[in-house]
Amino acid sequence: MSRDEELAQIAANDTQNYSIRKQALDDIKDKHLLNYLAKNAKDDWIRLESAIQTKNSGILKELTKHTDERIRLEAAIELNDQEVLAGIVINSGEDLHRDIALNYITSKDQLRTIVEKSTREQEKAEAAVRLGDKEVCKSLVAEIKNEDILLRMAKFINDYTLFAEISGKTTNSRIKKIAGEGLEELKPGSVSEID
């Protein structure tokens, strides 16, 4: 039995500690053995890691439908499956999973879907800013209550009226100061205004 075959047995032995199995998996050089593990290992984390190492898109695609959201997320990241990532952003109960998935979304269509369907202001605002569409951002302003998010939107759309509104309504001195700085920059005749 070769060293890689011994390592594959360790990796496939789901009674062993995961970190030992993962280390064995990482030490395997034989791509055929890794591909075998991706298809046949009982532990879906070992399948995922094997599929990532062999770039087995068929197995990764299968794992984007897994019941464990962490596995779905990792597989979707590897495949750059924008639709699965957007689904996690919109539907996950885990904030960390939502944040990670959102960071990997580049598709304008999926960013629009998040703006339309997400129930969280931070995600809606982040997606809108990443879309680069000032009109979409302006349409969201009325929905957003968080002053930090509103400030970010005001900076992105470069909106004097929004800075004035934030400055006038806030009781937070930090927010008032930042909004005041934004107003100063956009004041007619200022250097920013001339640029």
**pLDDT tens digits, 73-93:** 999 999 999 999 999 999 999
Give the model's pLDDT for residue 190. Answer: 54
- Residue 69 lies inside a defined structural domain of this protein: no
pLDDT tens digits for range 58-75:
999 999 999 999 999 999
| Structural domain boundaries enclosing 154 | 149-195
- Residue 93 lies inside a defined structural domain of this protein: yes
Give the model's pLDDT for residue 105. Answer: 97
The answer to whether the predicted template modeling score (pTM) of the entire model surpasses 0.85 is: no
Tally of structural domains, the chain: 3
Helices (H), the chain: 3-12, 18-27, 31-40, 44-54, 57-63, 69-79, 82-91, 95-103, 108-117, 121-131, 134-140, 147-157, 160-169, 173-186, 191-194
Give the model's pLDDT for residue 184. Answer: 85
Q: What is the mean pLDDT of each run of 10 residues along the chain (195 residues)?
A: 92 91 94 95 95 97 97 98 97 95 96 94 91 87 85 84 84 85 76 47
Asked if 164 and 176 count as a contact pair (C-beta separation under 8 A), the reply is: no
- Residue 71 lies inside a defined structural domain of this protein: no
58 plus 84 within the same structural domain: no
- Residue 75 lies inside a defined structural domain of this protein: no
- Residue 132 lies inside a defined structural domain of this protein: yes
- Residue 73 lies inside a defined structural domain of this protein: no
- Residue 126 lies inside a defined structural domain of this protein: yes
60 plus 90 within the same structural domain: no
Give the model's pLDDT for residue 194. Answer: 43
Give the model's pLDDT for residue 133. Answer: 85
